[in-house]
Structure 1
Amino acid sequence: MGQRSDDPPGDPRWSAAARLATQLDRILERFPPHSEARAAAIDDLAARLRRTPQTIRSYLRKYGKRRLVRDLLRDDSGRGPRLPPETEGIVKAILDEKHLTPEGCSLNEAMIVINGRLEQAGLKPVSFNTVKNRLWKHWTAEEVARRRGDRTAARKHRRRGGALVPDYPLQVCQIDETEIDVLAVDDAGNLLRRLWVIVLVDVLTHMILGFWLWPRSANREAIGLCLQHAIRPKGAYFQKFGIEATDVFGRPERIISDRAAWYKSLQDNRSLEDLRVVVEPRRGEPHIRGVVERLQGSINQQLRKGRGQTGRSVADRGDYPAAKRACLTYEQIETAVAITAFRICNGEMDEKTRKRPDLEWAKHACRIPEHLLTVDWEAVQLAFLPERACRLSSKGIPAFGLTYWEDENPRLAELYANRGRDSLRIKVNRNDVSHIYVRHPLWESWVAVPRADGLLTPLTAWELEAQKERERAEAETSWMERGKSREMVDAALTPTAGTGRKPRVSRKAASEAVAARVAGDAPKPHAAEMALNRLKTSGDGLGRLPVVDDCFDVEPWGKA
């Protein structure tokens, strides 16, 4: 019940011990020792006090000898503090630095950091309860609420039933999307919409195969990019972010999803059937066993430590100014998600299942069919690209405000003969507008068509739109200048005072008079030669020729 034996009667601990003594007196007086009735009474008291029956029996042994309240307050274990001072200092410092901040991590994450520091210092690791007890030992509830922004506890998730038992990895996967719990900004500091993360998880090994961070709400195109990221080897991707993790890749055979519109649109898709990928939206409970949702929660748990975190809900966020403190860019968040997915989720043991996903993947990798590991990722990309119909013009195929065509391609030459007549099926990729894909009706295949202007540098649709905006900004004339130009035109078209139409002069004569005036004002190309000629003919009006000694023979002009 406590640590001291000299508690005054007015102390709250003394009052609690007195109430407990009253309950123990009833048990000691009414029920004989070692009887079933006493055991039932002990269990009932333990349930009401939220303690174990062993604790109640310990109280009975202490209190039953002398029936004194002080015996319930006495701590005769003789045990000193469990943690050494070095451990106490590390625990307190980590809690103060990592947990008690507006973007503070959870106690479980703080425990991981604490044990990492303790292991580096050669000290014994601590348990979760130890960390929790030290939190309430060093800080009060008011201080914790003030420093963490008065964040409330998260609501309980509903229970999900069912089971999926695959025979080998990549046989059954789960996919889901969610908004991340942190706000992002662009390079100029402008606040963006909340980013979405789409995660594809292998059910057997709980391995995250791939993800995609999307700056808009999830759609079919983003799902294709996520699946493409899962299929491709990730050696270069890990090198980009400086990650050392298990390279996992392959084509899933069956994908379990919820009933979102972008998943239902993938049912009975011809391109996915060619790839032998089956998307199965489930009714009712969206996910069996909730594997992907737990991993999404782990990703968001790490991201909530960043500035601009939105919390798990409005109540969880409280008064925290997420929009004002947001400073993370898309690239920084992508790096954090990649590290969390491939190092934390894939490389750390699950405390409940006591399994580590990357080791489970290595254990069952020999059972994966070979055709699931050798996949053309471009074919996967084509399967998810949006499709529409258009007509071929004399210049080419219009898309994104550009023209796509290649004169040297013999396949396209066959289509040019029927331009403007038959509709063509095209697929566009907003992540790379340097090419589009045209379905050739005779070859029954997709043909890549480059831009007609010859610019083949990879460019996204958003970068193209930003480039157009910059060009408009550079060439745009201000409203003031445009208005001034039109006012000048209006002034030029306004007749001056005293001028008007003279009906006595014919239109032909008036036109000739204006032409003569305009011709007189026009520059003369040989004005210098004409001025010299006027100097030669000045004086008596006759030009003076230079005197020369040359003689010329006179030729007869008549007939001989």
Structure 2
Amino acid sequence: MTRQQAERAGRLLGLHSSTVYKLRRRFLRHPVTSAVAPMSRGPKMGNKRLDPNSEQVIQEVLKEWLPCQRRLAHPLLDLTLEVRRRCLLAGLKPPGRNTVARRWAEYREAQAAALADAPSAAVAPGTFSAATPLDIVQIDHTQADVIVVDDWFRRPLGRPWLSVAIDLATRCVMGIYLSMDRPNAATVALLLSRVALPKAAWLDSLELEPQEQEVSWPMHGLPKALHLDNAAEFHGRALRMGCAQYGVELMYRPVGRPQFGGHVERMNRTLMERLRGLPGATGNSPKGRKARRPEQEAVLTLAEFERWLAVEVAQRYHHSEHRGLAGATPASAWQAMAQVHPPRQLPPGPEEAMQFLVQFMPMAQRIVQSYGLSLFNIRYWHPIFAAWRELRRKVVVRYHPEDLSRVFVSAGGRRYIEVGYADVRRPRISLWEQRAACRHLRAEGQRQLSEALIFKAIEQQRRIVDSARQATRVAQRQVPRKEAVPLGPWSPTPAPPAAELDYSQTPDPFPVEIWDSPWPKTA
């Protein structure tokens, strides 16, 4: 192209001759019409005009701060405020809300692209599985859709918490645990003990009816990996150390992705569907719950509900056809796979079982003093402390929140010894009672808490409860019966009421201390 040709083309196109040469070079490199389209002005796509330091702050908030937040009412607003706060602390000009929104969208797109390129993306969703028994055991907690009543007056207590462990390879339920308290580290310890230990002793403790004596639950063993969500009780130091002791790997689901635990979530749904026919069932939705009034229909105690669950899982679920097993039953799948790949077992004996349970209990570190050791303002003593206190050894203390009358102490972290109160006259108490007594004493102005004050407050509270229970029983006995309503002129005259007896002088028909329950509540 000569100079005259370039100038003539420029006059026709309204461009400078040098621009004509640029368009010609672009067209020769890529001979399509879009190559000579007018070039857009301004920054090119992908270029960022934000200050690099502010850009780094946004990326830190997206990668470090945002994944740690569980529930945000207004995610974009909270994200913008956090970026603005950090920029002001660093002396930077904070970016606008639209800029933060664009960076957030780019971050989510990058995450989606990385997930699509991952090797696991080649596997279809819902195909997370295991090849042999106890390769992967999923654990989850849920609040049961049924209201239970107390053992004494059959009054509603509320909905219990149900913890379930399921084996992915055979779909067998490895263990269940029921409690009225929210799941904690002790809940996980007791559930894992039922997973790893034989369940015969636990089934015997349920006091099944004669027609239910054939309940068999042979599934047990040490899992190779635990698949967990991100609840606080699954991130405790006791669980990590216990799993490291027995060679159990911990696997966590992505935050806010319940579908990654689909097996145990589906198991919970199956059990909740079976609860709909029980008296006191609440349903899985609060809609219409007030009209149903499940509190008035509730009749099952916590022990009776646990017995019902044991029969439901061991006799019904384990022997029902499972779609995920191509029509086989979980019990038959366990029997077939366990013969080829036997699961790991703990050494037999009650001592090994207790040591396993202790390894997963909540823990604390203490130094043995001249008086022994102190935990929750309570003194404990063992003759071996006489040797340890000279060395001022730091020991690991494991405790059960439901029973503080004994703890388990280890100087090396391997073998634990059982240690009781320094004052053997003290009654057994729970951690909940101890904390309630401390709150009561502080409310009364007691700044210096001692063991004697704590146990005195607990005994006073127990006496109040016993007096209230006795007064309630007497009041219920003395309620007069309603007289019969005459049905017509031919109705017989009702008999005169019998003379009232003074039931307050009769012996107490319930001479049982309710605080005296067997511990631990496990096999």
TM superposition score normalised by structure 1: 0.50
Q: Distance in 1 between matches of 2:425 and 2:250?
A: 37
Asked if structure 1 preserves the Cα contact closer than 8 Å seen for 2:133 and 2:343, the reply is no
Specify the alignment match of 1:168 in structure 2: 132
Specify the alignment match of 1:304 in structure 2: 276
1:474 Cα offset (Å): 7.9
1:233 pairs with 2:222: no
Percent identity between matched residues is 24
Asked if structure 2 preserves the Cα contact closer than 8 Å seen for 1:254 and 1:279, the reply is yes
- Equivalent of 1:212, from 151, 159, 177? 177
1:385 Cα offset (Å): 1.3
Specify the alignment match of 2:300 in structure 1: 328
Larger radius of gyration: 1
Specify the alignment match of 1:387 in structure 2: 363
Specify the alignment match of 1:136 in structure 2: none
Find the residue that maps to 1:170 and give its secondary structure: coil
Specify the alignment match of 1:183 in structure 2: 147
- Equivalent of 2:375, from 399, 406, 409? 399
1:440 pairs with 2:405: no
Q: Distance in 2 between matches of 1:202 and 1:277?
A: 14
Q: Distance in 2 between matches of 1:457 and 1:235?
A: 30
Specify the alignment match of 1:264 in structure 2: 235
User: What root-mean-square deviation, in Å, do the aligned CA atoms of Structure 1 and Structure 2 show?
Assistant: 3.3
**For 1:119-173, what per-residue CA distance to the aligned partner results, in whole angstroms no more than 9, with x for missing partners?**
xxxxxxxxxxxxxxxxxxxxxxxxxxxxxxxxxxxxxxxxx93323322101111
Asked if structure 2 preserves the Cα contact closer than 8 Å seen for 1:169 and 1:367, the reply is no
1:339 Cα offset (Å): 1.4
**For 1:398-441, what per-residue CA distance to the aligned partner results, in whole angstroms no more than 9, with x for missing partners?**
3355432122x3xx22222255xx65432211244342122315
Q: For residues 210 and 437 of structure 1, do their structure 2 counterparts lie closer, same or farther at Cα, with a shift above 3 Å needed?
A: same
Specify the alignment match of 1:274 in structure 2: 245
Q: Distance in 2 between matches of 1:161 and 1:439?
A: 46
Higher relative contact order (CA 8 A, sep 6+): 2
1:223 pairs with 2:188: yes
Find the residue that maps to 2:404 and give its secondary structure: coil
Asked if structure 1 preserves the Cα contact closer than 8 Å seen for 2:137 and 2:227, the reply is yes
Correspondence list, 1:31-70, <5 A = none
Unaligned runs of at least 5 residues, structure 1: 1-159, 477-560
Find the residue that maps to 1:328 and give its secondary structure: coil
**For 1:301-342, what per-residue CA distance to the aligned partner results, in whole angstroms no more than 9, with x for missing partners?**
222222222111112636211233333211111111111121
Find the residue that maps to 1:324 and give its secondary structure: helix
Q: For residues 257 and 237 of structure 1, do their structure 2 counterparts lie closer, same or farther at Cα, with a shift above 3 Å needed?
A: same
Instruction: Name the aligned partner's letter for residue 411 of structure 2.
Output: H
1:452 pairs with 2:422: yes
1:298 Cα offset (Å): 2.2
Specify the alignment match of 2:289 in structure 1: 317
Specify the alignment match of 2:310 in structure 1: 338
Q: Distance in 2 between matches of 1:289 and 1:364?
A: 23
**For 1:223-271, what per-residue CA distance to the aligned partner results, in whole angstroms no more than 9, with x for missing partners?**
1111111111112333332442242111111111222222233699233
Q: For residues 268 and 424 of structure 1, do their structure 2 counterparts lie closer, same or farther at Cα, with a shift above 3 Å needed?
A: closer
- Equivalent of 1:356, from 305, 310, 329? 329
Q: Distance in 2 between matches of 1:401 and 1:268?
A: 25
**For 1:422-467, what per-residue CA distance to the aligned partner results, in whole angstroms no more than 9, with x for missing partners?**
65432211244342122315x8643322233447998755688899
Find the residue that maps to 2:291 and give its secondary structure: coil
Instruction: Name the aligned partner's letter for residue 310 of structure 1.
Output: T
Q: For residues 270 and 348 of structure 1, do their structure 2 counterparts lie closer, same or farther at Cα, with a shift above 3 Å needed?
A: same
Find the residue that maps to 1:371 and give its secondary structure: coil
1:247 pairs with 2:223: no
Asked if structure 2 preserves the Cα contact closer than 8 Å seen for 1:252 and 1:372, the reply is no
Correspondence list, 1:415-430, <5 A = 415-418=388-391, 424-430=395-401
Asked if structure 1 preserves the Cα contact closer than 8 Å seen for 2:140 and 2:265, the reply is yes
Specify the alignment match of 1:293 in structure 2: 265
TM superposition score normalised by structure 2: 0.53
Instruction: Name the aligned partner's letter for residue 472 of structure 1.
Output: Q
